[in-house]
Amino acid sequence: MSKEKIRDYYNKNAEYEWKRLIQDNYHRLEFDTTMHFIKRYIKTEKLILDAGGGPGRYTIELAKLGHELVLFDLTPKLLDIAKQRIINEKLENNISEIMQGSFTDLSIYENNHFDAVICLGAALNHVLSKKERKKAISELIRVTKSQGLLFVSVISKLAVLIDPFLRQNQDMNLFKKALESGDYKGGAFAPSHFYTVDEFKEEFSCKKIDLLQLVGLEGLASLKNHRVNKWNKEIYNDWWKIHLKTCTHPAVAETSSHFLGIFKKK
């Protein structure tokens, strides 16, 4: 049932989802920071699974860098957008597969198949039951090669709780229940489970992987959308230098709107 709700939400908001990460400075912080860290860790051309990759913003960016991508997502309309964008960008040769499904079951792929796996921008938040999330995490790890890398970003529980209060234009009770459980049953946004860092670490604790780094993607600028979106390029670039020096501080990662975990499989 929750998978249907999530698919419906993204089918309805498909065009927004394609533009989401580049629509303004604030969302660019999420995208630019994620790309910065992927590029820091992946230096040569690789086979990468984009699990929950939606309309393919990261798939396309990574394909442009010469990587080979498999795009895997739950929502047909997002995958249709991705197909068209990939053709427009003439990147078909770098995309070996576009597949619809749930990453809680990646059995179509063998163990140790991908050099790297990315699961970004809240895709994992949308798996509501802890048991299913554990299944998804174990699948993401299983299909990653030994010595391969896994990048997972999620919405932080501590950052999200204040969001409706800051906006004041939506239901102020929106995330109140999420304070206790982290669970949000859906409304303005698709059903989600919001993470604390401790819980994220606990769900990813596994003998097969090491956590290399935790990164706050919006960092100290989290929830300062209105100000950040007024910055010109020069101010953004100035802030970027400070952002990179602060975004891996544990307190910054925990309270960032999204945080990214970078793991290496043993």
Ligand X SMILES: C[S@@+](CC[C@H](N)C(=O)[O-])C[C@H]1O[C@@H](n2cnc3c(N)ncnc32)[C@H](O)[C@@H]1O
DSSP symbol at 195: B
By CB under 6 A, name the one of 28, 53, 114, 263 that touches ligand X.
53
104 binds ligand X (CB under 6 A): yes
CB of 214 to ligand X, least distance (A): 17
**Torsions phi, psi of 228, nearest 5?**
-60, -35
Nearer to ligand X, 22 or 242 (CB): 22
Window contacting ligand X (CB under 6 A); options: 50-58, 63-71, 89-97, 169-177? 50-58
CB of 98 to ligand X, least distance (A): 12
Q: For residue 2, what are the contacts with CB-CB under 8 A and spacing of at least 6?
A: 126, 128, 186, 191
DSSP-based three-state secondary structure for 260: strand
Residues 114-143 touching ligand X, rule: CB under 6 A, are 120-123, 126-127
Bridging pattern class, strands 144-155 and 114-119: parallel
End-to-end Cα distance, the chain: 36
Q: In the block, which residue shows the tokens 């802030």?
A: 239
Q: Residues 5-44 vs ligand X: string with x where CB under 6 A?
A: -x---x------x---x-----------------------
**Degrees to nearest 5, angle at CA 212 with 43 and 70:** 50
Nearer to ligand X, 97 or 168 (CB): 97
Instruction: Label each residue of 62-84 as H, E or C.
Output: HHHCCCEEEEEECCHHHHHHHHH
Residues in the chain: 266
Window contacting ligand X (CB under 6 A); options: 54-62, 166-174, 223-231, 245-253? 54-62
By CB under 6 A, name the one of 94, 102, 192, 257 that touches ligand X.
102
Using CB under 6 A as the criterion, which residues of the chain lie in contact with ligand X when the complex forms?
A: 6, 10, 17, 21, 52-54, 57-58, 73-75, 78, 102-104, 120-123, 126-127
